[in-house]
Each structure stands twice: as structure tokens, then as C-alpha cells.
Amino acid sequence: MRSAVPVLMYHAVARTPMLATRDLSVSPDAFAAQMAVLAERGFTPLTTSALAAAWRGSGQLPPRPVLITFDDGYAGVHGHALPALAEHGFPATVFVSTGWLRGPYDTGGAPDTMLDWPQVRALAAAGVEIGGHSHTHPQLDQLDDDALWFELLRCREIIGDELGTRPESFAYPYGYSSRRVRRAVRDAGFRQALAVGNALGQRRQGPYAIRRLTVRRGTSTEAFTRIVEGQAIGRSFAAQHALTQGYAMVRRTRRAYGKAFPTRD
């Protein structure tokens, strides 16, 4: 059983994405080429639930497992990614922010064209796991307990009402979490959760902090191949690691300041 698994994090798949999502949007042609790389190299995509179940000891992983995940719930996942996945018979996981999707729960603020609920149901019917990604996509570790609980429960409730089953998997908006957030995600009923980290996923990370690898618009087919093969990952994401570490310090300071000097209405 492979001890480290590439867990790929996509966002939008679009020909002409909005400026706000451009860097994290891959073209349909690039996505199709990346799926072909996985097929040619003998990878077997899994859902997030299947990977976590195997790591809990209740399942068996194939020789070359990989996860294909999408955050937020952009419309191109249905329009462009699903045909490429179906061509190879690949499952995937889509983590949706329920307040961003088009339909009765839309709270506004989505940065691009999002899925609607008939499309979400079509994805689920095609074998795509639908996971939670909060309701309004906030930085969860900056919320107080009541707001955090609302984001998790409202998201899980809506997905359950629309699909007939509560989601088991979760992905942290922006990749941010804390011990408090991870505990709340578990208590809300999610069995596993994905972060970012830009490293291979491993069992030792625990079920609520599984790391993923970011696929961007500028990720070439050659770079993608190196990433999924676990080659030079540190060098590939060195700049992102530095930015992430620096911003993490800023955010910890902001959270501590907010506790010491709470805002007043």
C-alpha cells in the first residue's frame, strides 16, 4: 500500500475565468491532458471517503491511488471536468460552499459562475462525492464558536436536504484550520477533512488534516506529471510555502488581537 498519496486540489475549470479565479482555474484542455497523464501512468483515482476509509483500516488502497478534488463548486466542474472524468471512469470529490451555489440558498459573493443544484445532483449521480466547504466560505479559524458552528451545520444540512444524504468529507476554505476548527468539523458529523499544505497526503497527518497539492492555471503537463509522481514537490511549491508561513503568522496575530480587543456593536 502506497504510504503517500497525491491529493490534487482544483478550483475552476474554465476557458475564460473571471479575474478573481484565474490563477486557480485550469483550462478544459489542460484538465483533459492531466487526466490522460493519470490514466497513462496507471493511477487509480478514489473519493475522499474511500481514501479515509482505507487509512482507517476498513478498505484496501490500489497500488497507485490519487484523489481528484475541487473546491467551491464552480460550474465548469460539471460542464468541462465531468466529461473528462467520465472518459476515464474517474471518480472525484467536489467540496461545495452551499451559500455560493446558484439556487435558493445563494447568499451572494461568489467570485465566478457556480454550479446549481441540478448540476450538483448530476455530479453525484455520476459517482462524484459531494463534500462540504462551509456555507459562505469564510476563514473558519477567525470565527467565534457560534459562527463556526453555523457555517458547518448549515452546509451539511443543505447538502443532506438536496442529495438525500449528509456529506462525510469536508475541505477547509482557504485551507485554514486550527485545533478548535478541526474538532468542530468532527463534532458536526464530518468523518475526514482536507487542508492544503502542498505536500503528499499521508495517513500520519490524521483524518482531519490531509494535505493536498494545488493545481494552477500555470501548471504545465510536465510539472503536473512530476507532482503526481512525488518528484521535487518541495521546490515546486517553495514560494507558496513561504507565503503561507508568513500569512499564518499575520493571521494568528489578528486572531489573538481580536480576542484581546473584541469589537463592539
Dihedral angle of Cα 146, 150, 151, 156, to the nearest 10 degrees = 140
Q: Residue 263 pLDDT more than 80?
A: no
- The pLDDT score that the predictor gives to residue 240 is 55
pLDDT digits (tens, 9 = 90+) for 6-27: 999 999 999 999 999 999 999 9
Residues 6 or more apart whose CB falls under 8 angstroms from that of 94 comprise 69, 70, 73, 77, 115, 120, 123, 128, 129, 130, 131
| Homologous superfamily of domain range 4-231 | Glycoside hydrolase/deacetylase (3.20.20.370)
Q: What is the mean pLDDT of residues 208-232?
A: 95
Q: Would you place residue 260 in the very low, low, confident or very high pLDDT band (cuts 50, 70, 90)?
A: very low
- The pLDDT score that the predictor gives to residue 60 is 81
Secondary structure, 3-state, 186-202? HHCCCCEEEEEECCCEE
Where are the domains positioned within the chain? Answer: 4-231
**pTM of the complete model:** 0.90
Q: What is the mean pLDDT of residues 195-206?
A: 95
Q: What is the mean pLDDT of residues 29-47?
A: 98
Cα 72 to the center of its chain, rounded Å = 8
pLDDT digits (tens, 9 = 90+) for 67-82: 999 999 999 999 999 9
> Checking DSSP bridges between strand 201-202 and strand 4-5, what pairing results, if any?
antiparallel
- The pLDDT score that the predictor gives to residue 4 is 94
